[in-house]
Amino acid sequence: MITIQNKHWQVGILPETGASIAFGRVKHNDQWVDVMRPTPVSDYGNSSNCSSFIMLPWCNRIKDGVLRFGDDTYQLKTTKDDGTARHGDVRKRKWTVNTIDAYYINMSLNSSDFPDMNWPFAFSALAEYRLDDAEFKWTLSIKNEDTRPFPTGFGHHPYFAKPIGEYLPHVQIPCNQFFELTNYMATDAAVPLPERLEFREMRSLGEANINDVLTDRIGDEPARMYYPEYQTTLEMYADPLFKHILLYAPEGEPYYAVEPMTNVSDGFNLFADNIDGNGVFVLQSSEEQRADVRLIVKQS
């Protein structure tokens, strides 16, 4: 594990575990407190239990692992529990550290280095984490290293700490619509928000079970997570390429997730069926796409 740190943030990075984040802490009363779900040391090799992991070259699920593009169909490997291709195929891979200092780390991955990569097209990826005063910046990119164009998407799966009881976090998600999901996957275009997902104004996360993809973001407004115990707010600014935010709050668990994603869950099938709002983009040979997420800590 590699630690980068300044006066506002203390962050652990795991290059050999998919360039995942092991912990994200902020200063409160001269003490470091976990605002991201901390990873047990025994789980440093398990991206699923990390504070955050990278989803690439697709986000979330592809139904039955069937990837359709143009006139071609490709069968991806699927997970045993739900039979989908899930969360991309870089989070369990070893990334190469290119540059590192006290506040910054730059890592890369090339799919050609992994003969068992679960993707039918050649690509490379870059992940950067940088601390700049109160800002914790994540940069992610993918480049088409193939001779053929391909559809793709990426995102981050950060888990945040959820204190129970009177210190439940408050959340604001600046989105006007959401996707109705079947088995956690979108089957049609987005629709207006129901009352249970009305997070356009800051409100307590509550104890309800939530696992929904919100979309139709409101301008450049950030998502906000407020921690009453520490009087601390995290503002999440995401590049417009991240069209969707998945809000995941399992009932009774001490964590929740606010996930910026380019494509919606099973967006590749929406894309193949020409359904708007899927968020999938196509890279031509040698073309690259990158996008940033910035977490800014503010304390009152």
pTM here?
A: 0.97
Per-residue pLDDT at 90: 98
Q: Which pLDDT does position 10 carry in this prediction?
A: 98
How many CB atoms are closer than 10 A to CB 183? 12
pLDDT in tens, 28-74: 999 999 999 999 999 999 999 999 999 999 999 999 999 999 999 99
Q: What's the pLDDT at 164? A: 77
Taking the C-alpha atoms of residue 86 and residue 157, their distance in angstroms, rounded to an integer, is: 12
As a whole number of angstroms, the distance between CA 14 and CA 52 comes to 10
Read off the pLDDT of residues 214-255 as tens digits, 9 standing for 90 and up. Answer: 999 999 999 999 999 999 999 999 999 999 999 999 999 999
Predicted pLDDT of residue 163: 87
Q: pLDDT tens-digit profile of 160-202?
A: 999 877 899 999 999 999 999 999 999 999 999 999 999 999 9
Write the pLDDT tens digit of every residue in 134-155: 999 999 999 999 999 999 999 9
3-state secondary structure the chain: CEEEECCCEEEEEECCCCCEEEEEEEEECCEEEECECCCCHHHCCCHHHCCEEEEECCCCEEHHHEEEECCEEEECCCCCCCCCEECECCCCCCCEEEEEECCEEEEEEEHHHCCCCCCCCCEEEEEEEEEECCEEEEEEEEEECCCCCEEECCEEEEEEECCCHHHCCEEECCEEEECCEECCEECCCCEECCHHHCCCCCEECCCCCEEEEEEEECCCCCEEEEECCCCEEEEEEECCCCCEEEEEECCCCCEEEEEEECCCCCHHHHHHCCCCCCCCEEECCCCEEEEEEEEEEEEC
Residue 208: pLDDT above 90? no
CA distance 250 to 211: 7
Rounded to whole angstroms, how far apart are CA atoms 55 and 140?
A: 10
Domain count, the chain: 1
In CATH, what number is assigned to the domain containing residue 10?
2.70.98.10
Cα separation, 224 vs 295, whole angstroms: 9
The Cα–Cα gap between 238 and 139 comes to 10
- CB of 8 closer than 8 Å to CB of 41: no
- pLDDT score recorded for residue 114: 98
% of the chain beyond a pLDDT of 90 = 97
CA atoms of 53 and 49, how far apart (whole Å): 9
24 touches 137 (CB < 8 A): no
If you average pLDDT over every residue of the chain, what do you get? 97
* Cβ atoms of residues 103 and 6 within 8 Å: yes
Q: Which residue has the tokens 């040391």?
A: 41
Check residue 207 and give its pLDDT.
86
Domain that holds residue 131: 2-299
Residue 158 pLDDT class (50, 70, 90 cuts): very high
Question: Residue 193 in contact with residue 177, Cβ under 8 Å?
Answer: yes
Overall size of the chain counted in residues: 300
